[in-house]
Amino acid sequence: MSTEQPPQFDVQKIINDLLALLRGIDPVTEGVKLAEQGRRTVEALIVALENFGSTMDNLNQAAARVNRLLDDVEDPIRRIAGMADQAGSFVSFLPSLAGKAMANLAPKPATTTAPSTTPSTSQSTVKPADSSVAPSKSPTEPTA
Distances (CA, A) of 18 to 12, 13, 15, 25, 80: 10, 9, 5, 11, 88
Interacting residues of 143 by C-beta distance below 8 A, sequence separation 6+ = 137
Residue 119 C-alpha from the chain's centroid: 73
pLDDT of residue 14: 87
Domain ranges within the chain, ordered by starting residue: 11-106
pLDDT of residue 42: 97
Distances (CA, A) of 108 to 53, 102, 134: 83, 12, 42
pLDDT of residue 144: 46
pLDDT along the chain (144 residues), means of 10: 67 86 82 94 97 97 96 88 80 78 73 58 50 50 51
In DSSP notation, 67-111 reads: HHHHHHHHHHHHHHHHHHHHHHHHHHHHHHHHHHHHHHHSPPPPP
Distance CA(105)–CA(87), nearest Å, equals 26
pLDDT of residue 69: 94
pLDDT of residue 36: 96
Distance CA(37)–CA(29), nearest Å, equals 12
Distances (CA, A) of 123 to 112, 118, 119, 120: 21, 10, 7, 5
